[in-house]
Chain A
Amino acid sequence: MTAIKKIRHRQPLTDSNLLLIITISIFAAMYALSMIFFGGGFLNPQQFLNLFNENASLIILACALSVVMIQGGIDISVGGITALVSVCCAVYLEDRGGSVLGALGLALGIGLAFGLLQGLLISFLDIQPFIITLAGMFLARGISTMVEVNPRTVKHAGFSALREIEIRLPGIGYYAKNGNFINAKIELGVIVALLVLLALFVVLKWSRFGRSLYAIGGGSQNALMLGINIRRTRLYSYMICGMLSGIAGFVYLLHTGSGSVTQATGAEMKAIASSIIGGVLLTGGVGNIIGTLFGVISLGTINNVVVAMGLKGPWWQGITTGAMLCLFIVLQSIIISNRNGGSFKLALPGWFIPKKKTNESKPPQ
């Protein structure tokens, strides 16, 4: 009888934390190696901060997707909503003489409307989230084309002023060619993205809603039995996702200064990839929003590495992103199934698995 109940003195990490640590370690190792081998730009703090500047809206989108993916869902309309918001805001500011605040409200409104509609259909009619949000994606792109076919540059005074805002970090910077010290800068969008990240971190870690998301991702029937209102929680998660897509669209416009139908093409896929690299499992229930941030900047870094290696062709970025995603998914599957005594190991050749693991007994059924 003692054999069954072995108390583990050293507690293993939870899956979420384990994957988070892996993501951060890989990013740190990758960046450190790049600094050593390529030097140059990688030693420049500005290049590091540009990972954030360039990807502020992607960070927000990836966070939005993480929220949905943790509860076991998916939302592929986020890229479409981002484009729609950028187009609508651009037209509103330029042609309708709107104000900046009004544009922000418009962004939030569009995002929330999509989130609410999709969320209602998914949670209360039990329709597959993939299909509903696929429809949402086409709808959003379609409406953007209807609003304005051509790219619009925003010259609105108030908005331009907002675009000009950049935060110079004291003490951190680089020496320009002429020997002057230039403080590194970050854009306003980065601040927004980090605030979103912080808010979601708090919500996911401490709020009842956040923990319910994890519970539903772990098993929605079980979560129901534990007294969690799964329909409402799911609805809220899609609403948050939609709203954040709206914010991402606004941040996108802030970064590029123009609204266009073709903007944020494939952003939903990049956001999903970032979440997965950040340790969010597609099956739900496992993930950490901090990991998602590292997922985004890992993807950015890989692209910088490709450029630094002299592979200038545009296809290299796609290839490396694909390879990295594949690597992470295989790694995650192996780790998670080995920990939980899953059947994955049966599909792997014997030499693949460390000897110690195979002997470890699975909990008796």
Chain B
Amino acid sequence: MQDGGIVLSMRNIGKEFPGVRALQNVDFTLRKGEIHALMGENGAGKSTLIKVLTGVYTLDTGYINIDGMSKAAKIRSPQEAQSLGISTVYQEVMLCPNLTVAENMFIGRGKYSFVNWGQMSRRAKKILDNLGIPAAPSQQLASCSLAVQQMVAIARAVDMECKILILDEPTSSLDEQEVAKLFSLMRELKSRGVGIVFVTHFLEQVYEVCDRITVLRNGELVGEYKVEDLPRVQLIAKMMGKELGGLSEIMAKKAETGEFAGVPVYEAAGLSSAAGTKPFDFSIKKGEVNGFTGLLGSGRSESVRAIFGADRMTGGRVSVNGKAARITKPIDAMKLGIGYLPEDRKRDGISADLSVRENIILALQVMKGFFRPFSRAKAKAFADEYIRLLGIKTASADTPIKSLSGGNQQKVILARWLLTHPEYLILDEPTRGIDIGTKVEIQKLVLKLASEGMAITFISSETEEMLRTCSRLIVMRDRRIVGELNGEDMTQDKIMRTIAGEAPDNA
């Protein structure tokens, strides 16, 4: 690891939003040719710090110095940040879907008045080929998969000859191969002397590529560490501000893996939906936690959406508690005691401008009917109960949900479903994009609910989590169920083999 000069130093950074002190006296130092992880739970101030650096927000106090220049850098817009050699890749693809791949790589950069399409296309082709990105320069960006779009965003940032590259959770939409590709790219840039700021929720990734870690908590600096001086457990402890016993607790409390007795809470035969799932059979019993696993796009989410009636059913029979049932719309499922926490929290989950209280009672209200509203006192009682029960951090029950951090928003949605007292709860990626402390809490809650007799389907793209919580795993590939694992068979290795299509006996 070479320690070059300091390429970026941020000192005493402070940023205040109405009612929230997002950053307070934060220092951050980035050296030439290092990969520096910026860690912290949701709401710790990572995003704010990065937005200050990229000119989306202007800072209230402190100063930023770039490349050892004698005076403080003024960054008032993303444009100015770009011209100072800072380029950024965001978690959500911040490109224009209506433009071509090549245009997205070059628009808004440098000084030019007219576009040379031929030259731009050739340059783009070269970069795409170098990075092995499967996209053509003249293709419209919207026609690429999300992962490819993200790679295009990275290609753009890489090509900008930047001094500072900020990667804000770039890996959440990439599969393992693509992540590996990204990492080798990061290492190459590092050897060229680029300073890289890497924000991620995946601890493994931090230890794989990073040299240093800066930890933030509640908008304050906890400290800067060399990776080798900070073992994982300590890192988590620093992020949470307390020692962590949760993970080992979960291991001990893992649900029974034996047979579950009784009539299935939910049973489907040959179920298929308009979203393109192949007909599948599925059943779940009281107290059972099962999971759907598979690669991105394998149809896990589509399957549970079919169960909940979120996509139009095209075939199959469904029975609930042994009685034949018809589920064509989510409300049918809700009335039969099924709850569904959707994968995309922003799009399908929260009603951003409504308050926490209104978001919590929403599902119950829908089941009761909108013309028979709850009294304010009753709604408040419900909301307060679950805010306390789940430890939701919010200023009050009347705060708009959009001002909460991701993890707390997720808890609110969870509360919404728990309030309906479902017999069967489907959780699609409940732990995505939230901090590790909340992740552990949610997993614990899942096990607790199951032990109280609720049937739960738990989906997560982190296989580790599913292995910890589920007693049965359904493996999917290409929108079809290819295997079912339980008990001793539930290992990373077995899952991968099943996905790859090898007979389990060969393992």
Q: What residues of B have a CB within 8 angstroms of the CB of A14 in the complex?
A: 98, 100, 140
Contact A229 B79 (CB under 8 A): yes
Contact A214 B94 (CB under 8 A): no
Q: Count chain A residues whose beta carbon lies closer than 8 angstroms to a beta carbon of B.
A: 44
Q: Which residue of chain A is the closest to B173 with respect to CB atoms?
A: A365
Interfacial residues of chain B within 78-120, with CB under 8 A of chain A in the complex: 78-79, 82, 88, 90, 94-100, 103-104, 107-109, 112-115, 117
Contact A208 B144 (CB under 8 A): no
B343 within 8 A of A: yes
Contact B82 A227 (CB under 8 A): yes
A364 within 8 A of B: yes
A110 within 8 A of B: no
Q: What residues of B have a CB within 8 angstroms of the CB of A152 in the complex?
A: none
Q: Which residue of chain B is the closest to A228 with respect to CB atoms?
A: B108
Q: What residues of A have a CB within 8 angstroms of the CB of B396 in the complex?
A: none
Contact A215 B82 (CB under 8 A): no
A266 within 8 A of B: no
- B295: contacting residue among A1, A211, A350, A365, CB under 8 A: A1
Question: With A215-B99, A226-B94 given, is the CB distance from A363 to B107 under 8 Å?
Answer: no
Q: Smallest distance from the beta carbon of A20 to chain B beta carbons, Å? A: 14
A228 to B54, CA, bound (A): 13
- B142: contacting residue among A8, A205, A340, A350, CB under 8 A: A340
B234 within 8 A of A: no
B312 within 8 A of A: yes
Contact B136 A221 (CB under 8 A): no
Contact B96 A222 (CB under 8 A): yes
Contact A217 B134 (CB under 8 A): no
Contact B114 A15 (CB under 8 A): no
A115 within 8 A of B: no
Question: With A14-B140, A223-B96, A363-B145 given, is the CB distance from A212 to B108 under 8 Å?
Answer: yes
Question: With A4-B147, A222-B95, A285-B98 given, is the CB distance from A207 to B296 under 8 Å?
Answer: no
Contact B98 A218 (CB under 8 A): yes
Contact A228 B107 (CB under 8 A): yes
Encode A338-355 as 1/0 by CB contact (under 8 A) with B.
011000001000100000
Query: Which chain A residues have a beta carbon within 8 Å of chain B's beta carbons?
Result: 1, 3-5, 7-8, 11-16, 205-208, 211-212, 214-215, 217-219, 221-229, 285-286, 339-340, 346, 350, 358-359, 361, 363-365
Apart from A3-B297, A214-B96, A227-B108, list 6 A-B contacts with CB within 8 A: A3-B298, A4-B145, A8-B139, A214-B99, A215-B103, A226-B108
Instruction: Return 29 A-B CB contacts under 8 Å, by A number.
Output: A3-B298, A3-B477, A4-B145, A4-B175, A5-B134, A11-B138, A12-B139, A14-B98, A15-B98, A206-B114, A206-B115, A206-B117, A207-B114, A211-B99, A212-B108, A215-B107, A219-B97, A222-B96, A225-B54, A225-B88, A227-B79, A227-B82, A227-B109, A229-B79, A346-B274, A346-B311, A350-B274, A361-B276, A365-B343
